[in-house]
Amino acid sequence: MCASTSPGSGEPHDLLLDIIDTLDARGLDPRSFQLHDFVDVDALERLIASSEDDVEVRFTVEGFDLAVTSNDVRVLDGD
């Protein structure tokens, strides 16, 4: 189900870059969208960082379904 991964280092500022890099690897030009129109990255970072359990947050950016965890950002295929 997962197609593209971009490992994160766990640093809060890296999550934004991981999301953009993952979408860029799938051909979505980072200049063609504003990520904050799709997700509150600051809130997402706080949620991921504050959880003691494994948390996966899913959302869609320009038709790409993403799954974000403390370890990675993945594009989900609709198979």
pLDDT in tens, 10-50: 444 589 999 999 999 999 999 999 999 999 999 999 999 89
**Token pair for residue 79?**
């198979």
What band does 4 get if pLDDT is binned at 50, 70 and 90?
very low
Determine how many CB atoms are found less than 10 A away from the CB of residue 15: 21
Residue 14 has what pLDDT? 86
What is the C-alpha to C-alpha distance for residues 49 and 69, in angstroms, rounded to an integer?
Answer: 9
**Token pair for residue 70?**
């403390």
Q: In terms of pTM, does the model score above 0.85?
A: no
Residue 52 to residues 4, 12, 29, Cα–Cα distance (Å): 25, 16, 34
